[in-house]
Structure 1
Amino acid sequence: MEQTVVTQPKRLQPKKPRRRITPATVCQAIHDVPYIVARALIRAVRAVGHCFAWTWDAIASDVRANWRAFCRGRLVTGCRDALRSPALREVHHIMRDHPSIRAITMIAVTAVIFAAAVMAEPVRTMDAICIVVDGDGPHVLDERSEERTYDDLLLRRSLGDKSMQLLLEPGRTVTITHGDDTHTLTTEAERLSSLLRRSGIRLGEDEMVELNVAGEDPAIRISDTLTYQHYVTVETDYKILRSPDPLMDKGTEEIIRKGIPGQIVETYEDTVVSGEVVSTKYIGASHDTSHAELVRYGTRVYEVEEGDTIEKDFPNEVGEGGYLLFASGDTMTYNKVMLCSSTAYYSGGDGGAAWTTAVGAAVGVGTVAVDPKVIPYYTKMFIQTTNGRRVYGMGTALDCGGAIKGNIVDLWFPTKADCYSWGRRNVTVYILDKKAS
């Protein structure tokens, strides 16, 4: 079964009547153009100032969003329709044909642009001194500071200004301490000055703002006096520790351990007022990491000066022998200790210088007559009384005598008076090391 389609004739759209150019329409167009341009410029200046207050990521996202909104906005649509409107064409023809109207319009547009630039709200900066603390320590921001990026903020210069602005990363928890008050805020994509205004903090005349980004979360401290610690590393030389060795010959030494230079870290506290360090106080220093050089030097001699006395006897723990420590600091080693009976003799003449001993040596102070079977000739010894009150000193077995048998030593003195003064005494005889004999 066939269906019949009935079509209605198209209705013709009536043509819009063409607007006539009249003096009223021309005046209205001239009157509207400066206002349209001024509003567009003011919005553009405010948009630019708003964009420069954000981080670069925020700027990029804002620019994209603003561009899409701009393309879909009434301004673009209106401008597009206005450019296509007959009225604008009429205005164009009028300004082209009338130079005076064109000049007046240009002057009006220039005045509007200048007024918009002057009256536009500038980007507000923070007048207080700002100090940023990072891993390298505190840094006072001024016109000499370089633009850089920290972990949580961007440091850059303000548009048209030499002052530095801190742009905060959004979504971070910031602890703000102002006097005794401490509270926390979550950052937006904003300047540090905007964050402080949002927190309701009004800075005093001499107060400084410290932004610490060295920790896990940024922290803000506001005060008129701030203290910081700085550290100074000082290189140190090693010390030389010398210890005596009684069994090493005097005049020789041995390095047991080489010294190693080190360093210490000194801690100072700086007090900052108005961005300047007004005082520095020494706090302390760390442990010196240098290692001392250990040197062992010898004190052993084989003959001491006349009048030197024994300070202490150090016998060997095993066997005979040991060493003697003298008041001068010298030491002498001995092989044996003998308890003997001592007498004194005098050779007569002019001091006995003409006499010779049993071994053919001239007598003198230190000549000792012994029993060669007990103490061999040329044996060196050190002799003092058993109580240590009288000291004969160094002696050498160079003589003998008929009455000297066993543990008896006969000591030579230069005068009879010395012999009588010594008399007969019990003495301790230290038989010195063979190298001394």
Structure 2
Amino acid sequence: MKQKARDLSNKYFPKGPVAVLVVILLFIGVTLGIATIKKTVSVVIDGKEQKIVTYRSDLKRILADNNIRIENKDKINVSLDSKVKDGDEINIKKAVNIKVSVDGKTLSVVTAENTVEDMLDNEGIKVKDEDRIEPSMDEKITKGMDVSITRVTSKVVKENKELDFTTVVKKDSNLEEGKKKVIQAGQKGEKVIATRVVYEDGKEISRRVVSESVTKKPVEQLVAVGTMGVVRPSRGSSSLNYNRVIKMKATAYTASEACTGKGSGDPYQGITATGTRARRNPSGYSTIAVDPRVIPLGTKVYVEGYGLAIAEDVGGAIKGNIIDVFLNSNAEANGWGVRWVNVYILK
């Protein structure tokens, strides 16, 4: 029995040089095994790299062994449950505290996003194209940053506005001077004004007219203004309408031969150039001599201080702005003399 045991010992545990060889092979195997599980990984935190030598494969344990904590909002490029290999690079971006002012509130936000836009998307804060964000959406997130969001809205407001009518004045020679008469009543028009009103956080900041459209055109008012003159010979008498008034020198004449050159035997004595008999009628129309180039024959006039008259006669000395009023006697003519009067050309 003892002999059999010795035979087995010799068979499986050789002695001498063979034993030494076995030990060397075992050592090499263990060394190779250790070398196989040893690894170097790069951990980059906020752009700063550190090399970690480890025999572990579990990322979470590797980070814990090196006092690297991953907070809730930190970003890491691989899962914490990942198995690492030699030469792997682990990128970690640490979250920072910022403030976001929006909708009347100031929010404390912890974020590891790269830009303002990424942060807003991640936090579920909706913004519209019209809203104003400061700093800009592409601004890089930094620790302690203040982000302000101003809600910008606008609406178009329409309002009706009256349009004043214009007044057109026309002269009317058939209407007494100073009097007015509405020929056509004016009517106001209407237009619709569209105004864009802009609000920031509910407060109005600007208004701008974007369109105007006339829905009803105004109707112009037509007014006649009298140009016909009115003269009242005396208080209580009827007024006389005239077209114009002329300042003229007035002399006086009679039917006597001294004035007309026709004696008492002349059948044309006292007959005017128009064939009428010269007359002085204080209560009606009397005769005056005129220059027909200034006052046409047959024209009815009112002579200041003389009365109503008709231009029926002419005279050799009556040229230009001169008239000769007819009187019944030389005494009256001498009493008239020469005077300046207003002569009203009647309608």
Larger radius of gyration: 2
Q: Could you say which TM-score interval applies, normalised by the shorter chain?
A: 0.3 to 0.5
Q: Larger helix proportion, structure 1 or 2?
A: 1
TM-score for the superposition, normalised by structure 2: 0.33
